[in-house]
Amino acid sequence: MLQWLSKEAIRRIAIALLILLAAAFPLVSCSGGAGGETDGPSVPGSDPDPGPGGNEEPAPESEPEEVDYASLGVNELGQIMVLMYHQIGPEEAEWVRTPENFRKDLETLYEAGYRLIAVNDLLDGKIAVPAGTTPVALTFDDGTIGHFRYIEKDGQMVIDPDCAVGILEQFAAEHPDFGLAATFYIMYEATIFGQPEYVQQKLNYLAENGFEIGNHTNSHIYPGLRSLSPEEARQELAEHVRLTKEYVPGYEVRSLALPYGSYPDDLSYIVEGSYNGTSYHHAGVFLVGNNPAPSPFHADYNAALLPRIRASELEEYTAGFGINNWLEYFAEHPEERYISDGDPDTVVVPEALKEQVDGAKLGDRKLITY
Ligand SMILES: [Zn+2]
């Protein structure tokens, strides 16, 4: 299976490269068309200086690279996996992924043509991954030590290469085109990332290095937001935002992961509200299981209730809906997976899916069907 995935990924990448090359060369030879100057063949990469007599204009910036939507299977109405991790620790368990298995997840995703996006970019529909690839977002709940740990090495405190942040950074260094993004849903009535002396340093680090801090309420009170009055819920949500801003001035918390997946019937005060002078607005609210999220341009996309997928392969807990099940599903049903055209300013969908686009969610983006 893995081998099959690898070959499929390689085939797709090869196609994407060929198309990019094909697009790059005609661009040079076509660029002189408007002026009609055809003195001599255009050689790619030759003579970047037009010379004193040269009046040829540079290739128009707006000239889009030709992407063969059909052969790449471009579908920006396809589904997107938002993976949900809890602890990263030494032994695989219901809420624990080992460092080795987390690395394996990254490798498998990379080989199968997935590329990382930040949750906030998903929520904003700003999906900038290369043509032919599929966006995926990583989320970590509860702010435990395996997410972000400092250890001593040669007399210095360094990021543990076996914690989530360390693993992600190492993987991104080896695979720069994979991207680097993850959202950490923390609660303040716990020791954030398990090392009280480093809370400030870690939150600063996340904010400064492209990671996101998300709301997981202030106290993670059992059994979750559904059991609270609206006023108590507002307090839980606003207090998280207030404390995050206290640690990282100016930081805007923009998404919420529901503790225990619990939410009230009335979502309005979960999405936005205020308490004691602190207001919050969640551009996205995430559940606990078990499905990929709709494309942010799909009529079914509901930012107030976005599903995630358990990044576990323990069948007794995933019940056939874990990360590997979905990876297999999308390998078998590539037409259901979000496949990018490489241009975040356009939304490209097969003609047959046109009716499922929610025009109000397109914003300034141009809809292209094929
Ligand atoms: Zn939690």
Q: How far apart are CA 204 and CA 150, in angstroms?
A: 14
Return all residues near 216 (Cβ < 8 A) that are at least 6 apart: 141, 142, 143, 185, 186, 187, 240, 256, 257, 259
Fold (topology level) of 74-369 = TIM Barrel (3.20.20)
pLDDT of residue 289: 79
pLDDT of residue 48: 40
Residue closest to 283 by CA, chosen among 212, 194, 351: 212
pLDDT of residue 337: 98
Q: How many angstroms separate the alpha carbon of residue 311 from the centre of ligand 1?
A: 14
Q: How far apart are CA 135 and CA 117, in angstroms?
A: 6
Q: How far apart are CA 172 and CA 326, in angstroms?
A: 23
Residue at token pair 């543990």:
160
Q: How many angstroms separate the alpha carbon of residue 185 from the centre of ligand 1?
A: 8
DSSP string, 299-352: TT--TTSEEEEE----HHHHTT-BHHHHHHHHHH-GGGB-B--S-TTEEEE-GG
pLDDT of residue 342: 97
Backbone phi and psi for residue 79, each to the nearest 5 degrees, phi listed first: -85, 155
Q: How many angstroms separate the alpha carbon of residue 259 from the centre of ligand 1?
A: 5
Q: How many angstroms separate the alpha carbon of residue 121 from the centre of ligand 1?
A: 22
Q: Which residues of the chain have pLDDT under 70?
A: 1-65
Residue closest to 102 by CA, chosen among 43, 159, 161: 161
Q: How many angstroms separate the alpha carbon of residue 200 from the centre of ligand 1?
A: 21
Q: How far apart are CA 338 and CA 186, in angstroms?
A: 29
Look up residue 110 and give its amino acid: Y
Could you tell me the maximum CA-CA distance found in the chain, to the nearest angstrom?
77
Q: How many angstroms separate the alpha carbon of residue 220 from the centre of ligand 1?
A: 6
pLDDT of residue 131: 98
Q: How many angstroms separate the alpha carbon of residue 201 from the centre of ligand 1?
A: 22
pLDDT of residue 27: 39
Asked if 96 and 88 touch (Cβ cutoff 8 Å), the reply is yes
In 175-271, which ranges are continuous DSSP H helix?
A: 199-208, 230-247, 268-271
Q: Where are the domains of the chain?
A: 74-369
pLDDT of residue 104: 98
Helix (H) or strand (E) holding 121: helix 119-124
